[in-house]
Amino acid sequence: RLVMLACELTPQIERSVRQIYVAHAVTLVARARHRELRNSRRLKKKTRLQDGEHEMQQHRHVRENSAEQGRDAASGLRSLLQGGVDVDEEEEDNAVRDQGFTRPRVLVLAPMRNVAYEIVQNIMALALSGAGGEEFDGEEADSDSSEDDDVRARRQGGSERVAQVKNKKRFVSEFFEPDENDAEDLGHRSPALPEDHRHRFRGNTDDDFKLGLAFTRKTLKLFSGFYESDMIVASPLSLRRLLDGGEDGNTGDGAVALDFLSSVELCVVDGTETLLMQAWEHVVAVLERLNNVPRRAPPGVDFSRVRASVLDGRARQLRQTVWLGAFESPLVHALARASCANAAGEL
């Protein structure tokens, strides 16, 4: 569903809204990762079962003249079947559709580093506290469990949490900057600046940044590669530079520069009132390329597990887009109608 919130927010309410959508994004990633890893274990077990069945058939063929040995082989096959998974499950066709073309599921567009800093701080706090309600990597979970993901998440009650955050010092050094408005010596700044101005231009106001975040069972990695990330927090300018084959592009080819955004399920545009005052055409360019079918096969893609809606090019119709701003704008509504065709409508 397309969600639009356009109203003047106090700094306190703005922080609360940010915490809400961060919790939603982290929960989406955690449940999806758990589902993928659970299905991977089931597929591996099924492969072992099929290999065992093939081996038993070979033994039966070699010793077909011995009825007693044939009965032993059949008995062993029945035992193997009883100890494995049911071959009549929904995965019988060996095609579990639980992935997209690429790993990133969440994209957050922010106008400046000070906003991105608060977003990532909320993500770290949520992951370290275990409040996401689901384990990120279920390597030690019960592989035979058929419990519904939502039920499992509620039952766990947030018992799983990451133990460490990688590259945290680098993140703080690149995104945090002391707020000059809180210093005793304001220097050239006027002490009579409006409150909203002081809040918007607090801390680090650089507008060229991008950051990948990857979740595992016990680790949250910052500055992960885009194709290895679960969430991406970036400014429209930085992604536009990739699209135009800028110095940070891996290939210099704008046609494939944003292919890592082909399977985004949740896009949050935070601070539209600020983005409108920067360069709105960057936002337009990024959203036009969001959920496009990749021009080349992404690294590590398993097409047998890509969802049918993604293969059919309908990922945009199923993507949830959240717009947050201080006021409504015809430019925002026009872009939403052009690039956010969610099948569930608008809220």
Q: Do residue 71 and residue 216 come from a single domain? A: no
Q: Do residue 123 and residue 179 come from a single domain? A: yes
* Per-residue pLDDT tens over the stretch 263-279: 999 999 999 999 999 99
Average pLDDT, the chain: 80
Q: Do residue 174 and residue 310 come from a single domain? A: yes
* Per-residue pLDDT tens over the stretch 93-105: 445 888 899 999 9
Range of the domain at 319: 2-42+101-339
Asked if residue 347 belongs to a domain, the reply is no
42-56, 117-131, 202-216: least confident range: 42-56
Closest CA to 115 of 306, 1, 278, 261: 278
| Residues in a beta bridge with 320 | 266
Asked if residue 197 belongs to a domain, the reply is yes
Q: Do residue 72 and residue 163 come from a single domain? A: no
Q: What is the pLDDT of residue 118?
A: 97
Asked if residue 238 belongs to a domain, the reply is yes
Asked if residue 150 belongs to a domain, the reply is yes
Asked if residue 268 belongs to a domain, the reply is yes
Phi, psi of 340 (to 5 degrees): -120, 80
Give kind and range of the element (H or E) at residue 325. Answer: strand 320-325
Residue 21 has pLDDT above 90, yes or no: yes
Q: What is the pLDDT of residue 182?
A: 55
Q: Do residue 107 and residue 192 come from a single domain? A: yes
Q: What's the pTM? A: 0.78
Q: Give me the residue label for tokens 């050239």.
A: 188
DSSP letter assigned to residue 292: P
Residue 159 has pLDDT above 50, yes or no: no
The angle at the Cα of 341, spanning 337 to 347, to the nearest 5 degrees, equals 75
- CB-based contact 136:217 (threshold 8 Å): yes
- Burial of 35-69, coded b for 16+ CB within 10 Å and e otherwise, reads bbbbbbbbbeebeebeebeeebeebbeeeeeeeee
Q: Do residue 220 and residue 72 come from a single domain? A: no
Asked if residue 243 belongs to a domain, the reply is yes
Q: Do residue 59 and residue 166 come from a single domain? A: no
Q: Do residue 119 and residue 251 come from a single domain? A: yes
91-105, 239-253, 318-332: least confident range: 239-253
Q: Which residue has the higher pLDDT, 94 or 321?
A: 321
CATH number at residue 148: 3.40.50
Q: Do residue 168 and residue 245 come from a single domain? A: yes
Asked if residue 346 belongs to a domain, the reply is no
Q: In angstroms, how far is CA 195 from the centroid of its own chain?
A: 34
Q: Do residue 85 and residue 105 come from a single domain? A: no
Q: In angstroms, how far is CA 119 from the centroid of its own chain?
A: 14
* Per-residue pLDDT tens over the stretch 193-226: 888 888 889 999 999 999 999 998 889 999 999 9
Total domains in the fold of the chain: 2
Asked if residue 332 belongs to a domain, the reply is yes
**Residue 301 binned pLDDT confidence (cut-offs 50, 70, 90):** confident
**Residue 147 binned pLDDT confidence (cut-offs 50, 70, 90):** very low
Residue 108 has pLDDT above 90, yes or no: yes
Q: Do residue 174 and residue 273 come from a single domain? A: yes
Indicate the length of the chain as a whole number: 347
Q: Do residue 27 and residue 51 come from a single domain? A: no
